[in-house]
């Protein structure tokens, strides 16, 4: 077997903790190449390459679930459907990011509107706090009405 690494040596080489490596194993992203006679995990250069693959995929913003699928697909390179699976996974991740961007954009607008109310409020009471208090009272009253209606049925 070429040059092998213990989990400690692999973790130092890859810049990850042994716990992270064990976690990747539990997820099926990384597997020890073999176990020694005393049942220690043994890794080789391909393990370092796999961990670099994981790091690059994380740098792209992919989740460990995404990475797990890409690892599975990478083991079927040459199969006609491999690129289609990768494309589907990347499109799904892109859609999730687009949704998150829309949510964050709305959140930014709401915060800016709240900040502008802080600047223009001539009252001694903070207008944002007043609005939040009023809104929470409306929610409480609505939920009480719903609970009463459900108890009647």
Q: Summarize the confidence of residues 62-85 as an average pLDDT.
A: 87
Element (H, E) at 137: helix 127-152
Whole-structure pTM value: 0.66
For residue 146, the model assigns a pLDDT of 56
**Separation between Cα atoms, residue 89 and residue 95, nearest integer Å:** 10
Looking at domain 7-75, which of 3.90.550.10, 1.10.1660.10, 2.70.70.10, 2.170.130.30 is its CATH number? 1.10.1660.10
**Separation between Cα atoms, residue 151 and residue 10, nearest integer Å:** 61
Q: What is the pLDDT of residues 6-33, one digit of tens each?
A: 999 999 999 999 999 999 999 999 988 8
For residue 68, the model assigns a pLDDT of 93
Render 42-91 in DSSP notation, one character per residue: EB-HHHHHHHHHHHHHHHTT--HHHHHHHHHHHTTTT-TTHHHHHHHHHH
Beta bridge partners of 41: 35
């Amino acid at each position: 077997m070429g040059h092998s690494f213990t989990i400690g040596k692999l973790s130092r080489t890859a810049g990850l903790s042994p716990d992270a490596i064990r976690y990747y194993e539990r997820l099926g992203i990384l597997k020890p190449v073999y176990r020694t006679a005393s049942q220690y995990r043994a890794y080789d250069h391909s393990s370092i390459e796999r961990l670099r693959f994981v790091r690059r995929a994380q740098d792209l913003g992919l989740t460990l679930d995404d990475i797990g699928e890409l690892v599975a697909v990478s083991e079927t390179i040459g199969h006609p459907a491999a690129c289609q699976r990768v494309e589907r996974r990347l499109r799904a991740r892109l859609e999730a990011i687009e949704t998150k961007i829309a949510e964050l954009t709305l959140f930014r607008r709401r915060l800016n509107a709240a900040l502008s109310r802080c600047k223009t409020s001539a009252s001694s009471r903070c207008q944002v706090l007043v609005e939040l208090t009023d809104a929470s009272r409306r929610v409480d009253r609505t939920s009480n009405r719903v609970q009463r209606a459900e108890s009647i049925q």
